[in-house]
Amino acid sequence: MIDTRRVRAVFFDAAGTLFRVRGGSVGAIYAEVMNRHGASLPAGVIQERFREVFSCAPPPVFPGADPRDVPLLERDWWHALVAEVMRPASPFERFEQCFAELFELFRTARGWELDPDARRVLDVLAAEGHTLGVITNFDSRVRDVLRHLGIAPYFQGVILAAEEGVSKPHPDLFRIAMRRHHLREGEAVYVGDDPSSDVEGALAAGMIPVLIDRLGGPFPPGELRISSLGEITGWLLGATSASLGETRP
Q: What is the CATH number of the domain that holds 98?
A: 1.10.150
Q: Cβ–Cβ contacts within 10 Å for residue 87, how many?
A: 13
Of 63 and 247, the structure prediction assigns the larger pLDDT to 63
Residue 110 lies in a domain: no
Which residue, 105, 129, 161, sits at the end of a domain? 105
Q: Which of 50, 70, 105 is the last residue of a domain?
A: 105
62 and 147 in one domain? no
> Is 162 within 8 Å of 47 (Cβ atoms)?
no
Bridge partners of 189, per DSSP, are 10, 208
Give the separation between CA 74 and CA 141, rounded to whole angstroms: 9
Instruction: Please give the average per-residue pLDDT across 112-121, as a whole number.
Output: 97
Write the pLDDT tens digit of every residue in 210-221.
999 887 766 555
Q: If we measure between CA atoms, which residue out of 91, 13, 26, 14 comes closest to residue 54?
A: 26
- Rounded-to-integer distance, Cα 24 and Cα 113, Å: 9
CATH number of the domain where residue 224 is located: 3.40.50.1000
Q: Tell me the pLDDT tens digit for each residue of 139-159.
A: 999 999 999 999 999 999 999
Quote the DSSP letter at residue 82.
H
**Do 230 and 119 belong to one domain?**
yes
Q: Which domain holds residue 170?
A: 4-18+115-246
The three-state secondary structure class of 87 is helix
| Stretch (H or E) spanning 20 | strand 19-21
- pLDDT at position 216, please? 74
**Which of the two residues, 221 and 131, has the higher pLDDT score?**
131
Residue 78 within any structural domain of the chain: yes
Helices (H), the chain: 26-36, 43-56, 70-85, 95-105, 118-127, 142-148, 161-164, 171-180, 200-204, 231-236
Lowest mean pLDDT among 2-16, 38-52, 101-115, 234-248: 234-248
240 and 172 housed in the same domain: yes
Write down which residue in 70, 86, 105 finishes a domain.
Answer: 105
pLDDT at 142: 97
Q: How many domains does the chain have?
A: 2
Same domain, 81 and 133: no
The whole-model pTM stands at: 0.91
